[in-house]
Each structure stands twice: as C-alpha cells, then as structure tokens.
Structure 1
Amino acid sequence: MRTWEAGAAAVADLRERRLDRRGIETVGLAEIAGRDLAEPIDAPADVPARSHATMDGYAFDAAEEYPYDLVDEPVFPDDEPPSLAAGEAVRIFTGAPLPPSANAVLKQEEATVEDGRLSGSPTTPGTYVYERASNVTEGERLFEAGERLGPKDALLLGDLGIDEVPVREPLSVGLLATGTEIHEGKHRDLDSPMLAGLVRAWGHEATYEGTVPDDFERVRDRIAEVAADHDVVMTTGGTSVGEADYVVRALADVGEVCFHRVRLRPGKPIAVAELPDAVAFAVPGKPVGAHAVTSLVARPYFTGSTSLPSVGATMAADVGISVPGFAYAVPVTLDDGTATPLGHADSSLAVYEDTFDPSVLSSSTRATRADGFVLTEDALDAGERVEVVPYPVVER
C-alpha cells in the first residue's frame, strides 16, 4: 500500500502520459478558466512595446540637471511623443509614451515651473516609468503546454494581443454507482452528485451513468460500456475487500489496476486503473471518505496540480490516532484562527471522543460542514499550531 502522496504523484504522471489523447479546440479568453493549454505560448513582442509614464508629471532625461526647458505641447496616452533636445522636458500624463530620449518622470506634485523652466525633487532614471520590455520580452516562454489556465491568465494573454488560445477538450467522465442497495433504491446515491460537482469545478464534463448491483459480471460489463463512451470512469462503492466488493476485480478484468488502496483515512480503498480507452477511479462509497480521497488522490488527473495551500491555525482539542502509519484527514471548523475538529466530542458533531474515528466520520455527511481539514500522521494536541487545507483549495 502506498502513501496518498505517492498515489497522487502516480495519477499526475498518468495525466501527463495521456494528455495528448484529448482533442484540441480554440476558445476565447473569457472561456479559458480551468482549461488545459494545448501548446506553449511565447511572447510575440515586447510588453510594453515602448516606455510610458505611470504618473502625471514631466518627462526628461534624468542624467541631466535642473532646470529643464519645457516644450510647449503636452503628451497624452494617444499621442506620438516629441523628440527632446538636451536639457528639455515635456508635460506628460499617465499612460502616455515617453519621448525617445526621456527616461524618468517627475510627478506634478513635486514640480516647480517658472518662466517655462522646470525644477523639482531629485529624480533617477526609471522613476515613474513603465519601461519597454520590462513586463515581457519578445520570445520569452510564458505558458507551457498542459498548463491549467485561470481567469487571471486572460490579463497577460490579452496584453500580448492574444484573443484565443488552443486548449485540450475537457475530459468526459462517466459516473457509475455500484451496490445492490443503491441499485434497488433502498439507499440514496450520495456520492455521484458530489463527484459530478468536483469534476465540473475542475473544468471537465460529468455524466451520470446510473447504478449497477453487486454482481461481478454486471459490474465488469457496465464499467467496460461506460469506458467505451468516456475518457474517465468514476465508480463509487465496492472497493474494499468484502464478499460483494467486485469493482477492483472487474477493473483488473477489463484493464490494468495501477494501484489499490493508499495510506489515507478516511478514503483508503481507492483504486486507479488504465483501461483500453479510459482511466478509471474506483472511489469508496462512504461520503466523506469519498470526497477526501478523490480530492487528494484523483484531483491531479483533472487539474495537473498536487499542491495544497494551507492556512495556519491553533487546535482547540486533543485528537488521537488509532493506527499509526496512515495520514489522517481531520475535518475542522475555523473560527478566528482556532481549528475545532468537527466530529470530536467537544464539537457540534460528537461522533468520536479524543481518538479520531475515520470509519464513523466517513459516513457522517454533517462533517462536510467543516471549513477544511488537517493532514496529520501523528496525534494532535490542543494549542498545537497546525496547517488547515481549506476545502476551496481542493474543489477548484
């Protein structure tokens, strides 16, 4: 059994190997969020193409000395700037291009003009100037193929004069719930809507493909059918070692299981497999465990990222662990820098005493009211500083 980090890394490698199997389409900048760039992007030109003022004031060559002789016509953002002779300055406004020989701007609040001559505070070259090519140099590599784009990337791309970019088509994900109790309507399928939301938040397409009872041949055949129609099959339930847990065996019959189980609680019995035309993620059925392991192990296949930005907090209570050698994802609520383990006897959801019980917590849907989780391999003490991974980090 591997660590969850090793599982996530293996999934990220799997993504890299299969990325070029997806088609390419061109989208406008308003549609790039969450999309995987199909080709690298190099800067087509210097940005800015010429130096311009970042303050209203006066432009001149700061290597010379006051006073400067003012030329008559001010420079506005849509003007072509005049040439300046030695010892000359010109009135300039924010965003206007600098004259070729100018290299500094004296802001107007620090300027004194008498009889057409300019004096002011000491100024060095580069003052209040957005210098040519200081933002981007022509030919510079700015985006790599496979990079997942976000809304902020539209700013740089737009500044480069790029209106459309080639991106990989989103993954098509088929969601299949297993379990006779779900297939017969005795238990509600809680996981599929949650997984569909994760897939869509990660920029891909999710389709609910229904349920299948606990029968080996039917599980195997439905997985094969869903795999024929989608890039990814995501199943729920049937991943443990019970007599009716057929999913992992079915995956091995259809394709090759990359790994089964990771050292994470809750969520341990995830399986990842490569099928002839798809990748499969077999997620355990308990809701909170399903969310935890999908967010931590499966997410890199959809987003290309294994990073987990966190915020610091102080634990409000002791939390023990029952089995060493595992990473525990402990849900917590955050209040003014204090992390309260939701599920602890001292919290609003009392499902365990001082020792974290992932088996019980994994079934508690109210645990989803937590603000994030603490990943730990060791017991936690009240007053201890911890790093909390907010749920929005793994849900986008």
Structure 2
Amino acid sequence: MSDAEPIRRAAAVERLLELRAARPDAPTERVELAAAAGRTLAEPVVAGRDVPERDRATMDGFALAADDDYPLTVVGEVFPEDDAPTIRRGEAVEIATGAPLPPEADAVLMREDATVGDGRLSGPSLASGTNVYPAGATAAAGERLLSAGETVDPRHAALLRDVGADAVTAERRLSVGVLATGTEIREGRQPDRDSEMLANLVRRWGHRAAILDAVPDEEAAVREGIEAAAADHDAVLTTGGTSVGHADHVVGVLAEHETLFRGVALRPGRPVAAATVRGTPVFALPGKPMAAHAAATLVLRPYFVGRDRLPTVEATCAARVTLPGGENEYEYAIPVTLEDGSGPAVGPGAGSELTDPPTATPLGHAASSFPLYGERFAPGRVASSTRIALADGVVLTRAAVEKGERVAVVPYGVVE
C-alpha cells in the first residue's frame, strides 16, 4: 500500500504516536490543580506520605477496640482537625466522620446503634475495621499515582490535593493553528462550520488554539497559508481541500513535504492527511463537519494526548444498519444516541454480564428522530450534517449491524 492509498486507522495512529515520540523534549511548566485538567504530565506524581496517615472514621459515632467488652466509658471526643487521642481498655471516644482514630481503636460504632447513659456506652459487637478508612488506603508513601505522559482529568485534582500536591509538572501546551480553506468561507458566502469545533477539541486536549484567517481555493494561497501557519505554530489543523476536485489543493501542497499518510480507511473521515512542513506537523481534515470531527477524534487525537485509548459502553442496537460497500477494508463510524438501561459497564467486553444495557439508536437512520438514510449507512450525508453532533458516540464497525445486536459504543466524552 502506498501513502496515496488509505491506510488503517490503527496504522495512522501508530505513525502519529511515533511522530510525537520523536519530538524534541518539550519545555515543562508547573500548573496549579485548578488549571491542570487536560494537561499532559511531564513528570510522574508520587505520594510523599501515606494518605491518610492514620486510620479515620467513616461515620459519626464512637471509636473503640472491637475486642473490648461493653459497657465502655466515653472519655472525650475527637474531630477531623484533632490529633489522635489515646484510650485504655474499657474506654471509647466520641468521634466525628473523618477524625483520626486512637491507636488503640480499630472500629467505630455508629451513633445510631449506640446507647449512652451516664457516660457509659453499649451497643452491638463489631468486627475489626468496621466504619474505618485505613491508613494508607488512598496512597502509600512512594506510590506512583500518575505517570509521565498521562493526561490529568478533572477528577484527578481531588486525589492530587488529598496527597498534598498543589501543582503538577506538565508539558508546555502546544500552539495549534486552525486554518480553514475555501473561497466560499473566505468571502463569507458560507459559514466556517469546522474551525471553532476543532479549536474547542484542541483546548479540551490541553493545548492552545488559534483560528486563522481562511484562505481561498487557490494553490498559491493555500501553500502560503499552510507554510505561514507552520512557521508560527507547533502544529496546524486545516479543513477542506483534501479531496480530488479541481479546487482541492491542500493534499497537493502537503505532498511537497514529508508525508506521513494520505487517506485513512475510515468513513466518515477518509480524506485526512498528515505531513511535516519544515518540521511542523500539519494535519489536513475534510471540510464536511462530522467527517472532520471523526478524523480529528478517532485519528489525530492520540498525537495531542499521547495515547490511543477508546473505552466503550456496550449497548443494544435499535435498528439494522448495512454498509455501503458491504464488509470491506473500511471502518465505519456510525453515530448513535444512547437511552439508559440498567447501568452499562465501561471497557471492551465489559457488558457480558449486563441484563439491560442501554439502547443505541443510529442517529440519521430512518428509525431515529432525524432520518437521513434508510437501512444502508450513508457516510456522506452523515458527514455533512451538523445535526449529527447531537449523537452520544459512535459504533466502529467493518460489518453490518443487526437489530438487537450488542455493540460497543465509543462515547464522544472519551475522545473529545
């Protein structure tokens, strides 16, 4: 297969990850937790101490030794901000949720189960560890929690703050130029439906995006626009001009440089190309909005986030979908909406134990709320319709999907 032929999505992703790995060491910066989501770690995050450092109560109640005998004398109380007190045999201490247990205590009697009279405590027998969050349960001293190259997600801030980190060392954000091509866009006769979408994706992936002035469908203007953008930015995304029409010049301009691939066997999204222009990666996306979205999220995203990971939700397909060319070398990204079931599992094969998975309805199918095609999937129509942005995710398949078949849905939240 030559670079002029579409390659498998996996092969394209592999080339992009190799390109990323070959970059010179990126400058780093310290980023406060409030701004860390989406950033790529340049250094691992390691717990500097056990967290928590002492056993703590998970309920309001009374801390005691589980093998002690009632009645127990209540000798005081402890709150989360206090140091752990000590108790002797026959004693208990009133304790608030989150407070440290006395070293001699190994259980907490819930307040609702306790009987207290004249400072004497009685209640049911408890097993050791009842209502206790053990020392080191969140993290052990020296434990690696996040590795270099991983992306910080919003939820990670809670863990990082808990282990005493107030900032992380992250790779410097890339400056990404977003360049639309098309005379109709340049002249304002049609809206630019791609650039803001792509800029938002870039920012979600932890980088900075700049929307550049559109260029007309003229070879010299396209060349000048791409080369100028490559000179000013760390990476460039272009839209439009990737097909074979007389006004499509982007791929021809990229062919003058070091090409990574031209075309990926993915529909919608096939006419995507990648090259380096004077050392700067330039990624050319199709102009149809949902084709650009599919190519960006399913092909290009790993370059920006450093990994190719597609957790899925298992669902039941609501309608039969056949493919334009039957079962072939193309992978089809079929947008679907999800209706809740009894709790889908996440991850490949995770749905084998589901009794009531969610229902996946192909958005655009005649059986959906927005009919664009019948039983046969129409990637061209889907690629052109911004209404498809209301889908919840895509089913990636090379074969027809039957009604009632279990399918793996890649939620848009995973790739955006």
Percent identity, aligned pairs only, is 53
1:253 counterpart SS class: coil
Pairwise CA distance, 1:114 = 6.1
Work out whether 1:198 is the aligned partner of 2:201. yes
Question: Aligned match of 1:57 in 58, 61, 65?
Answer: 61
Take 2:126 and 2:31, find their aligned partners in 1: how far apart are those partners? 45
Question: Aligned match of 2:395 in 359, 368, 374?
Answer: 374
Amino acid at match of 1:259: F
Equivalent residue, structure 2, for 1:386: 407
What do the CA deviations read for 1:159-218 (whole angstroms, capped 9, x no partner)?
122222222222211111223443444443322222122222323221122222334343
Question: Aligned match of 1:306 in 305, 308, 315?
Answer: 308
1:314 and 1:94, CA in 2 relative to 1: closer, same or farther beyond 3 A?
A: closer
**Contact 2:182–2:240 at 8 Å: present in 1 too?**
yes
User: Gapped runs of 5+ residues in structure 2?
Assistant: 1-5, 341-357
Equivalent residue, structure 2, for 1:136: 139
Equivalent residue, structure 1, for 2:43: 39
Equivalent residue, structure 1, for 2:86: 83
Take 2:368 and 2:72, find their aligned partners in 1: how far apart are those partners? 74
**More displaced 10-residue stretch of structure 1: 190-199 or 74-83:** 74-83
Take 1:229 and 1:149, find their aligned partners in 2: how far apart are those partners? 27
**Contact 2:37–2:154 at 8 Å: present in 1 too?**
yes
Amino acid at match of 1:389: V
1:179 and 1:93, CA in 2 relative to 1: closer, same or farther beyond 3 A?
A: closer
What do the CA deviations read for 1:291-336 (whole angstroms, capped 9, x no partner)?
1111111112223343333334333332211222211112233446
Aligned 1:1-396 pairs, distance under 5 A: 1-18=6-23, 20-21=25-26, 23-62=27-66, 64-67=67-70, 69-70=72-73, 72-113=75-116, 117-254=120-257, 256-323=258-325, 324-335=328-339, 337-395=358-416
1:299 and 1:94, CA in 2 relative to 1: closer, same or farther beyond 3 A?
A: same
Pairwise CA distance, 1:47 = 0.8
2:62 counterpart SS class: strand
1:366 counterpart SS class: helix
1:273 counterpart SS class: strand
Please report the TM-score for the alignment, with normalisation by the length of structure 1: 0.89
Amino acid at match of 2:222: V
1:284 and 1:88, CA in 2 relative to 1: closer, same or farther beyond 3 A?
A: same
Pairwise CA distance, 1:137 = 1.0
1:386 and 1:121, CA in 2 relative to 1: closer, same or farther beyond 3 A?
A: same
What do the CA deviations read for 1:353-375 (whole angstroms, capped 9, x no partner)?
32222123322333333333222
**Contact 2:272–2:286 at 8 Å: present in 1 too?**
yes
**Contact 1:66–1:120 at 8 Å: present in 2 too?**
no
Pairwise CA distance, 1:229 = 0.8
1:383 and 1:220, CA in 2 relative to 1: closer, same or farther beyond 3 A?
A: same
**Contact 2:205–2:304 at 8 Å: present in 1 too?**
yes
2:278 counterpart SS class: coil
Amino acid at match of 1:140: E
1:192 and 1:56, CA in 2 relative to 1: closer, same or farther beyond 3 A?
A: closer
Query: Number of residues paired by the alignment?
Result: 392
**Contact 1:177–1:212 at 8 Å: present in 2 too?**
yes
1:80 counterpart SS class: coil
CA RMSD in angstroms, aligned pairs only: 2.6
Take 1:19 and 1:141, find their aligned partners in 2: how far apart are those partners? 25
Amino acid at match of 1:381: E
User: Gapped runs of 5+ residues in structure 1?
Assistant: none
Take 2:142 and 2:361, find their aligned partners in 1: how far apart are those partners? 51
Amino acid at match of 2:308: T
1:348 and 1:98, CA in 2 relative to 1: closer, same or farther beyond 3 A?
A: closer
Take 2:70 and 2:382, find their aligned partners in 1: how far apart are those partners? 76
Pairwise CA distance, 1:86 = 3.6
**More displaced 10-residue stretch of structure 1: 379-388 or 9-18:** 9-18
1:131 and 1:364, CA in 2 relative to 1: closer, same or farther beyond 3 A?
A: closer
Pairwise CA distance, 1:140 = 0.9
1:361 and 1:157, CA in 2 relative to 1: closer, same or farther beyond 3 A?
A: closer
